[in-house]
A = this chain, B = another copy of it.
Amino acid sequence: MEFKEAKTKYIQTWGALGSQWGINKTMAQIHALLMISTEILSIEEIMDELQISRGNASMNIRSLIDWGIVFKESKTGERKEFFSAEKDLDKLAVTIARERSKREIKPALRILKEVSSIKTNSSNVEKQFIEQTEKLYAFVLKADNVLDKVTQYKENWLSKLIIKLVK
């Protein structure tokens, strides 16, 4: 396999993986592209590499910036914007995890709390509902907290975790 083919395969794979985890494929591909780039890239370069429209590129770059994993850059003497990506994978994973927690997990937790707090007639059906949603709330909260704890130090958290595990 030569470089060009490997690069395409890598970008496709990363896009597909993103897709499977509920992330826009193009968004994942833009990030993949920026991760292996030696230089900061302009929107035209991104459009050209991935064969996508300006609108699509613009919106997805903006999303990546909102997520905190792509950064706006500038070149002296150039008017247009350039972009770079977080390349430190420990930091990248933490940022994504925190963001997903904030956007998706915590709102779901609030609702689990809410629905598990109904006061019940004491039918089995209602008791079981409360019991199971309470368990679900407690479990998800615990998992969310563990993730937070584990990633407290953005630098090298994964290696640090492994060390804790083997002890």
Q: Report which of B20, B132, B164 forms a contact with A165, defined as CB distance below 8 A.
A: B164
Specify the main secondary structure of chain A where it touches its partner.
Answer: helix
Closest to A103 in B: B20
A79 to chain B, nearest CB (A): 25
Q: Report which of B10, B20, B118, B133 forms a contact with A133, defined as CB distance below 8 A.
A: B10
Chain B residues with CB under 8 A of A104: 17, 20-21
A99 contacts the other chain (CB 8 A): no
A64 contacts the other chain (CB 8 A): no
Tell me the complex Cα distance, A120–B124, Å: 66
Closest to A2 in B: B118
Q: Are A6 and B118 in contact (CB under 8 A)?
A: yes
A93 contacts the other chain (CB 8 A): yes
Q: Are A3 and B158 in contact (CB under 8 A)?
A: no
Tell me the complex Cα distance, A56–B96, Å: 33
Closest to A135 in B: B89
Chain B residues with CB under 8 A of A114: 1, 6, 9
7 contacts between A and B (CB under 8 A): A6-B118, A7-B129, A13-B108, A17-B104, A19-B22, A36-B132, A167-B167
- A residues near B (Cβ < 8 Å) are 1-3, 6-7, 9-10, 13-14, 16-17, 19-22, 35-38, 87, 89-90, 93, 104-105, 108, 111-112, 114-115, 118, 120-121, 124-126, 128-129, 132-133, 135-136, 139, 142-143, 146, 149-150, 158-159, 161-162, 164-165, 167
